[in-house]
């Protein structure tokens, strides 16, 4: 199973709804303090030296494709410039004879290379850079504000550069992102039964018809047709060393946690929408922040079980499998066969594989800990390289703990 890039499909009426939210979800609601100071990258990669890299051929191919599935899995240093990058760096790709590969940013630094200013390999993947943080804080404080280029420049941000960053990370210009945030706020107001005309004015539109057009474009429905039944789920991107993840939660439960480039993400979001009659809005809430904190601790080797309350909502068979998965200890693996046997249906190995793939809570329900009985990795929705990384990360963390480091 291979993960494609996070592609959009415009054919389905509901698809733009989900994509608008997922693409527009801010990376910035989470306080930067979660990442500590400048040594965060080194902390993330603690224990990673024990991890073997993919082959040079595979890494060079990933580099040429700018394959996001490899983000955080290796770093590439260019001998002729003395700079090191992520595999996804937008800069022109170096000749093969000029590159060396490293398992961590810390290793590349230790070998005397400097971090690239374009792809910023020392930042957690997907995190908004320092130069954008003040602007993003202000956007979060007042999402309805309309920004002019002059006001953006007054904060020391070049609007062209901001657009480039937003295009790369959210697939939207900065103003497009703001429009989406405003509409998302409007959606939340409408779903608690506010009057559309008042909401349109609040969202900064001069007429109800202009608001309706924009609303229809983003959400695939008109503002009058929002029902009040389903919950509103807040969606946000969480940066991790393996690339951004997407989390969706209301005030009580986390419903979704998945790598942002996973092809199944769209399907999962649609299933959730159909099941819960929910709406997605970008932003932050306490459970999203808790998830971010816990997932960050997991990646730094400081957390083995998760406390964030989850809602799984599977069929009876999925529930059984997911419960069994949740009981596989940290750092251990089991086989599809054994899960099928434990689910009292030894013939059901394929169904176990499917239930694994349908898991909406990556890492928290550790479907990466199921491998084939011949010892091979089997599939993983987030990509096999990530599965391998997670298993090695957990083993390395256990080893370090056993050695008392
Ligand atoms: Zn770079």
Per-residue pLDDT, 85: 93
Domains and CATH numbers, the chain: 15-34+129-225 (1.10.10.60), 40-115 (3.40.10.10), 232-299 (3.30.160), 316-402 (1.10.10.10)
24 C-alpha vs ligand 1 centroid, how far in Å? 24
Per-residue pLDDT, 232: 74
Per-residue pLDDT, 100: 92
Mean of pLDDT values over 375-382: 80
Decide if pLDDT at 10 tops 80: no
294 C-alpha vs ligand 1 centroid, how far in Å? 28
302 C-alpha vs ligand 1 centroid, how far in Å? 29
Of the residues 3, 116, 278, 367, only one is catalytic, namely: 367
> Is there a contact between 89 and 74 (Cβ–Cβ < 8 Å)?
no
Residue 148, exposed/middle/buried by CB under 10 A (0-12, 13-18, 19+)? Answer: exposed
How many helices and strands in the chain, by DSSP H and E?
16, 10
Of the residues 3, 85, 119, 278, only one is catalytic, namely: 85
Helix (H) / strand (E) element for 404: namely none
Positive/negative CA dihedral, 224, 146, 132, 77: positive
Decide if pLDDT at 19 tops 60: no
Per-residue pLDDT, 99: 94
Residues 6+ apart with CB under 8 A from 224: 196
Mean of pLDDT values over 108-128: 72
- Binned at pLDDT 50, 70 and 90, residue 31 comes out as very low
Q: What pLDDT digit, counting tens, does each position of 202-230 carry?
A: 766 667 777 777 666 655 556 655 554 56
Average pLDDT of the chain to the nearest whole number: 75
Rg (C-alpha) for the chain, rounded Å, is: 22
352 C-alpha vs ligand 1 centroid, how far in Å? 40
Is pLDDT larger for residue 269 or for residue 57?
57
Range of lowest pLDDT (203-217, 236-250, 251-265, 271-285): 203-217
Decide if pLDDT at 328 tops 80: yes
> What are the residues facing 282 on neighbouring strands?
235
Dihedrals φ, ψ of 139, to 5°? -65, -40
Mean of pLDDT values over 96-123: 80
Is pLDDT larger for residue 252 or for residue 381?
252
Q: What pLDDT digit, counting tens, does each position of 82-96 carry?
A: 888 999 898 899 999
123 C-alpha vs ligand 1 centroid, how far in Å? 12
Mean of pLDDT values over 31-37: 25
- Residue from 51, 10, 13, 65 nearest 220 by CA: 13
Gap between the Cα atoms of 261 and 348, Å rounded: 29
Kindly state the tokens that stand for 236. Answer: 């946000």
Decide if pLDDT at 40 tops 50: no
272 C-alpha vs ligand 1 centroid, how far in Å? 36
Residues 6+ apart with CB under 8 A from 4: 261, 263
392 C-alpha vs ligand 1 centroid, how far in Å? 26
Task: Tell me whether residue 85 is one of the annotated catalytic residues.
Answer: yes
Range of lowest pLDDT (26-35, 45-54, 204-213): 26-35
317 C-alpha vs ligand 1 centroid, how far in Å? 45
86 C-alpha vs ligand 1 centroid, how far in Å? 6
- Binned at pLDDT 50, 70 and 90, residue 4 comes out as very low
Decide if pLDDT at 132 tops 90: no
92 C-alpha vs ligand 1 centroid, how far in Å? 9
Per-residue pLDDT, 146: 82
Decide if pLDDT at 24 tops 90: no
Task: Tell me whether residue 180 is one of the annotated catalytic residues.
Answer: no
Range of lowest pLDDT (65-79, 272-286, 337-351): 272-286
> Is there a contact between 119 and 18 (Cβ–Cβ < 8 Å)?
no
337 C-alpha vs ligand 1 centroid, how far in Å? 43
Q: What pLDDT digit, counting tens, does each position of 266-312 carry?
A: 778 878 888 887 777 666 788 998 999 999 899 888 899 999 999 99
- Binned at pLDDT 50, 70 and 90, residue 318 comes out as very high
> Is there a contact between 295 and 245 (Cβ–Cβ < 8 Å)?
yes
């Amino acid at each position: 199973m291979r993960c494609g890039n996070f592609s959009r499909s415009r054919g389905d009426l509901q698809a733009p709804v989900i994509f608008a939210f997922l693409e527009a979800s801010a990376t910035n609601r989470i306080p930067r303090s979660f990442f500590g100071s400048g040594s965060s990258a080194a902390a993330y990669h603690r224990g990673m030296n024990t991890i073997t890299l993919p082959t040079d051929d595979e890494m060079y191919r990933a580099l040429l494709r700018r394959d996001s599935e490899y983000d955080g899995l290796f770093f590439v240093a260019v001998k002729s410039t003395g700079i090191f990058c992520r595999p996804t760096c937008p800069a022109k790709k170096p000749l093969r004879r000029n590159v060396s590969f490293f398992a961590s940013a810390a290793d590349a630094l230790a070998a005397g290379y400097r971090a690239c200013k374009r792809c910023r390999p020392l930042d957690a993947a997907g995190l908004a850079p320092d130069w954008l943080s003040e602007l993003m804080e202000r956007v979060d404080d007042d999402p309805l504000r309309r920004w002019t280029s002059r006001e953006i420049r007054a904060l020391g941000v070049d609007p062209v550069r901001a657009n480039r960053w937003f295009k790369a990370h959210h697939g939207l210009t900065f103003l497009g992102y703001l429009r989406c945030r405003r509409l998302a706020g409007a959606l939340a107001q409408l779903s608690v039964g506010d009057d559309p005309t008042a909401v349109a004015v609040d969202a900064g539109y001069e007429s109800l018809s202009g608001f309706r057009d924009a609303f229809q474009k983003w959400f695939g429905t008109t503002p009058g047709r929002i029902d009040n039944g389903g919950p509103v789920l807040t969606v946000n991107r969480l940066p991790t060393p393996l690339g951004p993840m997407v989390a969706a939660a209301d005030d009580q439960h986390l419903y979704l946690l998945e790598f942002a480039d996973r092809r199944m993400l769209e399907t999962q979001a649609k299933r959730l929408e159909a099941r819960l009659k929910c709406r997605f809005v970008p932003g932050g809430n306490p459970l999203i922040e808790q998830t971010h904190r816990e997932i960050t601790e997991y990646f730094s080797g400081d957390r083995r079980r998760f406390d964030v309350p989850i809602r799984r909502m599977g069929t009876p068979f999925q529930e059984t499998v997911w419960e069994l998965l949740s009981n596989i200890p940290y750092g251990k693996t089991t086989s599809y066969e054994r899960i099928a046997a434990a689910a009292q249906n030894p013939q059901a190995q394929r169904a176990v594989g499917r239930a694994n793939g349908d898991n909406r809570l990556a890492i928290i329900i550790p479907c990466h800990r199921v491998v084939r009985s011949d010892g091979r990795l089997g599939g993983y929705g987030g990509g096999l390289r990530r599965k391998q990384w997670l298993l090695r990360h957990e083993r390395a963390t256990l080893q370090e703990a056993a050695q008392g480091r």
